[in-house]
């Protein structure tokens, strides 16, 4: 009897099912009002559906679906996938795609580093001037209804070339629309002279008592003489045109921040500061700023979220605190740290993210930010006694046993050379060595990789001790203070804290090598 072979059932292709799920999900987002926070959560759920999300989004743009285009373009930015650039460039030259959709595509391309000013916009767009005017009018309408959208506009502006920034601000002034005053006031405060100059000139084009009021504030309160001079000139021009000053303080109902949190210092000298306000325009909602501050470089990044609930804000802080120690702090302390960070930005000429100027503007409604270095006083501690305490000095080796210091290690390709030289034969462990060999290792490693940044490590220890004191961790603060006070010893590699830092750095490198990661060969994996 012939053996019957059972045929395999054909493999089910779920791509059509996933495509329908994606389309249905995009449609469900189309008619809902969501905050940026909610949109990001929605995007996470969208991309969990499958790999078809980007192809489906691109297809909807090719179909010229103007209603769903804002959601689709948001998704393509959120994807952070540079493979979308080429197909988006192709869609830009499709004649059946409207100028409105092409304008949104240009915004996505800017996110991916494409300079729109270098594209032949007069050829790409059917009516470029009308598109630009309509887009500007829509933007002004949006920020009038929700001023907390301004940070996102500033984020986009930050990515433009200088030529595009100036052209954008000039177009904004050409609208001669009072609704542009709040964003122009913030642009006039950025630490980028050509941009600030253009924003002041744009304010001078708005024949309004409110614009005159803002120019008067800039002329009398700006710390920069050039800004004062230009603002005075533009305000005089408005006065000659018969404009009378009109009080304009759109944030006068803004209360002091409702919540302030600060994180511990991480191993590269960075920390996060959260400041949240009750939204004066929407009941029972918070808007908050996240600020990334470096111990030696100042404000490095800034991002904000508007119109979220207290529960969502607390959840955000809680999520972050799973990997980093976070504590509440008072507003005065936060302002002091902010002034210290801005001092580094100014003295070392490090750029400040544009979005920060919006949140700085809010802070300055009720606070004064002094751009000056911060030196903790540690008045509750006997610094001389701590410095002389040899047992305390030895115990600085054990600071790494606390979560506050568990990521204080050196991440550098040369560490992997040291790790390879000192690897045990039995596996990825540090081999046992004599006192002389350990001394030699500590000396070489310190001279090459720690001493060039010793001032930064010292500052990190000082700020960490201050943080620990503010968090009520007085005993650990005392030990951190001891480590800080001994950072000038010679030779530095005799410092127990530095010795432990070397050991931890090599252990991290060995563990990474064990798992197939090596900074000498694949540095991109560590970005």
Q: C-alpha distances in angstroms, 368 versus 58, 272, 336, 360? A: 47, 20, 10, 10
Output the pLDDT for position 431: 77
Model pTM? Answer: 0.81
How many Å apart are CA 186 and CA 154, to the nearest integer?
A: 9
SS3 262: strand
- How far apart CA 143 and CA 147 sit, in angstroms, is 5
Rounded distance, CA 340 to CA 327, Å? 19
Asked if residue 276 lies in contact with residue 314, where contact means CB atoms within 8 angstroms, the answer is no
Backbone dihedral region for residue 349 (phi beyond 0: left; psi -120 to 50: alpha; all else: beta): left
Number of residues that make up the chain: 527
Residue 453: closest CA among 296, 299, 343, 305? 296
Q: How far is it, in rounded angstroms, from Cα 287 to Cα 305?
A: 6
DSSP state of 129: H
- Both tokens of 221, joined, read 């309160």
DSSP one-letter code for 11: P
Q: Which residues pair with 287 in a beta bridge?
A: 277
**Helix (H, G, I), strand (E, B), or coil: what is residue 294?**
strand
Long-range contacts at 127-133 (CB < 8 A, ≥ 24 apart): 127/99, 128/99, 130/99, 131/99, 131/100, 131/102, 131/103, 132/103, 132/171
Phi, psi of 95 (to 5 degrees): -70, -25
CATH topology of domain 130-241: 1.25.10
Coil, helix or strand for 118?
Answer: helix
Contacts of 468 (CB under 8 A, 6+ apart): 264, 404, 474, 476, 477, 480
How is the beta sheet containing 270-278 ordered, strand by strand? 298-308, 286-294, 270-278, 259-263, 326-328
- Which pLDDT score, from 0 to 100, does residue 129 have? 75
Residue 180, SS3 per DSSP: helix
User: For the segment 439-459, what is each residue's pLDDT rounded down to a tens digit?
Assistant: 999 999 999 999 999 999 999
Which residues is 290 bridged to in the sheet?
274, 303
d(CA 308, CA 117): 35
pLDDT tens across the length of the chain (527 residues): 344 444 444 444 455 667 888 888 888 888 777 777 778 888 999 998 888 899 999 999 999 988 899 999 999 999 999 999 999 999 999 999 998 899 899 989 988 988 877 888 888 888 777 777 778 888 899 899 889 989 989 988 898 889 889 988 999 999 999 999 999 999 999 999 999 999 999 999 999 999 999 999 999 988 889 999 999 999 999 999 999 999 999 998 899 999 999 999 999 999 999 999 998 888 888 999 999 999 999 999 998 888 888 888 888 888 888 888 899 999 999 999 999 999 999 999 999 999 999 999 999 998 999 999 999 999 999 999 999 999 999 999 999 999 899 899 999 999 999 999 888 877 777 778 888 989 999 999 999 999 999 999 999 999 999 999 999 999 999 999 999 999 999 999 999 999 999 999 999 999 999 888 888 887 766 55
> Residue 287, SS3?
strand
Q: Supply the DSSP string of 445-459, one letter for each residue.
A: HIIIIIGGGHHHHHH
CB 335 within 8 A of CB 369: yes
Whole-number pLDDT of residue 164: 85
Q: Up-side HSE of residue 473: CA atoms within 13 Å toward CB?
A: 19
The closest of 286, 355, 326 to 467, measured between CA atoms, is 326
> What is the SS3 assignment for 387?
helix
Local structure of 295: helix, strand or coil:
coil
- Report the alpha-carbon distance of residue 444 to residue 402 in Å, rounded: 27
Looking at residue 160, what is its pLDDT?
A: 84
pLDDT value for 322 = 84
131-136 long-range Cβ contacts below 8 angstroms, 24+ apart = 131/99, 131/100, 131/102, 131/103, 132/103, 132/171, 134/100, 135/103, 136/171, 136/172, 136/175
Q: Which of 337, 150, 338, 171 is nearest to 251 (CA)?
A: 150
Return d(Cα 402, Cα 390) in angstroms, integer: 20
Q: State the Cα angle at 276 between 213 and 338, rounded to 5°.
A: 75
**Alpha carbon separation from 220 to 209, 231, 347, 363 (Å, rounded):** 16, 9, 24, 19
Instruction: Report the distance separating Cα 145 and Cα 128, nearest Å.
Output: 26
pLDDT confidence of residue 425: 79
What are the structural domain ranges in the chain? Answer: 14-126, 130-241, 259-365, 383-525
Contact 46, 40 (CB under 8 A): no
Which position has the token pair 């009398």? 220
d(C-alpha 50, C-alpha 52), whole Å: 6
Q: Residue 306: name the closest of 41, 36, 78, 29 by CA.
A: 36
- Tokens 């960490």, residue located: 464
Q: What does the pLDDT read at residue 62? A: 93
Contact between 59 and 334 under an 8 Å Cβ cutoff? The reply is no
From the list 260, 258, 255, 266, the residue with the least C-alpha distance to 300 is 266
pLDDT at 220: 93
Which stretch of DSSP H or E encloses residue 307? strand 298-308
Closest CA to 477 of 395, 374, 408, 410: 395
């Amino acid at each position: 009897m012939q053996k019957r072979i059972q045929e395999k059932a054909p493999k089910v292709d779920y791509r059509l099912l996933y495509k329908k799920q994606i389309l249905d999900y995009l449609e469900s987002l189309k008619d809902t009002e969501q905050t940026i926070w909610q949109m990001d959560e929605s995007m996470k759920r969208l991309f969990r559906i499958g790999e078809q999300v980007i192809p489906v989004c691109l297809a909807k743009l090719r179909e010229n679906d103007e209603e769903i285009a804002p959601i689709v373009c948001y998704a393509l930015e959120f994807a952070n996938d540079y493979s979308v650039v080429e197909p988006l460039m192709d869609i830009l030259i499709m004649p059946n795609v409207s100028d409105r959709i092409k304008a949104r595509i240009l915004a996505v391309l800017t996110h991916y580093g494409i300079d729109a000013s270098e594209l032949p916009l007069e050829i790409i767009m059917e009516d470029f001037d009308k598109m630009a005017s309509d887009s500007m009018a829509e933007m002004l309408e949006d920020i009038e209804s929700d001023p907390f959208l301004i940070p996102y506009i500033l984020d986009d502006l930050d990515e433009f070339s200088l030529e595009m920034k100036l052209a954008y601000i000039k177009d904004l002034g050409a609208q001669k629309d009072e609704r542009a005053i709040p964003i122009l006031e913030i642009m006039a405060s950025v630490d980028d002279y050509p941009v600030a100059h253009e924003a002041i000139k744009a304010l001078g084009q708005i024949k309004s008592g409110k614009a005159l009021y803002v120019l008067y504030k800039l002329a009398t309160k700006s710390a920069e003489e050039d800004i004062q001079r230009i603002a005075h000139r533009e305000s005089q021009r408005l006065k000659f045109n018969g404009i009378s000053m009109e009080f304009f303080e759109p944030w006068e109902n803004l209360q002091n921040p409702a919540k302030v949190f600060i994180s511990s210092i991480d191993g590269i000298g960075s920390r996060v500061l959260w400041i949240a306000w009750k939204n004066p325009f929407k009941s029972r909602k918070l808007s908050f700023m996240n600020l990334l501050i470096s111990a030696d470089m100042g404000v490095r990044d800034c991002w904000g979220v508007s119109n979220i609930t207290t529960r969502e804000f607390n959840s955000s802080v809680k999520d972050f605190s799973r990997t980093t120690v976070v504590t509440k702090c008072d507003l005065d302390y936060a302002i002091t740290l902010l002034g210290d960070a801005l001092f580094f930005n100014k003295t070392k000429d490090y750029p400040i993210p544009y979005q920060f100027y919006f949140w700085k503007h809010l802070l300055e409604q009720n606070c004064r930010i002094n751009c000056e270095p911060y030196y903790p006083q540690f008045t509750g501690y006997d610094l001389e006694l701590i410095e002389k305490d040899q047992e305390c000095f030895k115990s600085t080796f054990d600071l790494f046993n606390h979560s506050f210091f568990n990521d204080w290690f050196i991440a550098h390709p040369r560490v992997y050379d040291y790790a390879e030289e000192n690897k045990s034969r039995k596996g990825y462990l540090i081999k046992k060595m004599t006192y002389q060999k350990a001394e030699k290792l500590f000396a070489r490693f310190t001279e090459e990789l720690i001493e060039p940044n010793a001032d930064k490590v010292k500052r990190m220890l000082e700020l960490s001790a201050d943080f620990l004191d503010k968090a009520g961790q007085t005993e650990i603060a005392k030990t951190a203070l001891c480590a800080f006070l001994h950072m000038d010893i010679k030779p530095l590699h005799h410092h127990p804290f530095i010795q432990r830092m070397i050991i931890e750095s090599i252990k991290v490198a060995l563990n990474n090598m064990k798992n197939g990661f090596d900074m000498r060969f694949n540095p991109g994996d560590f970005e």
